[in-house]
């Protein structure tokens, strides 16, 4: 798999920043070529041309359709991070979810 670029998005990028950090650690441990960053909801749109997957924090689920529309021209997969992954800061599950989303988007 090519260098997968994933953007986590929440209110100000803070809580998703902790999860992104755990995801980077998990990816490194698994030897997966993935770049995970966290940004605020306001910054996410500007990053669309540079990413493959946009993952929204659970409390942003209501914005999924809006972001899916914005992501369409860039062929970016959009998903909502499962609450148990987000709450537990489970980097391993985050990486698995991002890869699954990306692969299903390519079909």
pLDDT digits (tens, 9 = 90+) for 17-54: 999 999 999 999 999 999 999 998 889 899 999 999 99
pLDDT digits (tens, 9 = 90+) for 74-87: 999 999 999 999 99
CA-nearest of 9, 4, 86, 106 to 55 is 9
Q: Tell me what the pLDDT averaged over the chain comes to.
A: 93
The pairing of beta strand 34-40 with beta strand 53-56: unpaired
pTM: 0.94
What is the reported pLDDT for 14? Answer: 74
The pairing of beta strand 77-80 with beta strand 53-56: parallel
Diameter of the chain by CA atoms? 34
């Amino acid at each position: 798999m090519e260098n997968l670029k994933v953007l986590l998005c929440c209110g100000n990028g803070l809580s998703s920043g902790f999860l992104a950090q755990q995801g980077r650690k998990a990816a490194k441990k698994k030897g997966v070529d993935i770049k995970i960053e966290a940004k605020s909801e306001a910054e996410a749109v500007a990053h669309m041309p540079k990413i493959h997957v946009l993952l929204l924090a659970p409390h942003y689920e209501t914005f999924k359709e809006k972001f899916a529309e914005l992501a369409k021209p860039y062929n970016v997969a959009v998903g909502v991070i499962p609450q148990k992954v987000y709450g537990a800061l489970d980097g391993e599950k985050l990486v698995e979810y991002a890869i699954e989303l990306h692969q299903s988007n390519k079909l």
